[in-house]
Chain A
């Protein structure tokens, strides 16, 4: 399996809801990433997990809470989001967290916050 999968593909939620985004890879990669991409903008890094430990949190609001249950799974828990959080959320993985490693991207979850 050489793909990064993400579920759900689409998610609509209210500002008081709690939801989770899921990401999975079975390539044996030890680094996993969450990016946020607004329309017509480039992806922006949110979190990096390296060997199941959070190594980078790019000053993301606490209403976004990442979790890495094991080396193949990455979750993003959402709570009390704002409409401006509506975006495409991309998951990626790489062999390790080094810059020279290619990052493999998932198809994304398109999130709409009402």
Chain B
């Protein structure tokens, strides 16, 4: 069965500090992983996906198959990064979301 785990419900960091949002997954096949973000009063939107290997808004995420992880990282957090972040796995024709991490960047 597929499962996505985000161990931190809440995460607070100071502006300019590095931030890492953790995501671990369980899936028997070859996973396709995503990070979705929801800013205050905005709709859920894609932040990045592992197959693109891109950096969006300074965020990166590397798929580590050995550790079954897809952690989201940014070297210097900004206030506008405060939002709800969901890690998601596509498998069995379904997009499974983790429980989400609410990131607060303290000025």
Contacts and interface: CB of A to CB of B under 8 A. Distances in A.
Contact of B93 (A4, A44, A55, A105): A55
Instruction: Provide the main secondary structure of the chain A interface.
Output: loop
Contacts of B86: 42-43
B95 A99 contact: yes
Given A42-B86, A42-B98, A97 B93 contact: yes
Given A41-B99, A42-B99, A102-B49, A107 B43 contact: yes
B33 to A, nearest CB: 10
B59 interface: no
A11 interface: no
A56 B95 CA distance: 12
A56 B93 contact: yes
A44 B94 CA distance: 9
A90 interface: yes
Instruction: Provide the main secondary structure of the chain B interface.
Output: strand
Interface string A13-49: 0000000000000000000010000000111110010
Contacts of A55: 93
B45 A105 contact: yes
B43 A56 contact: no
Nearest to A50: B93
Nearest to B42: A107
Contacts of A72: none
6 contacts: A42-B99, A43-B97, A45-B94, A58-B94, A99-B32, A108-B43
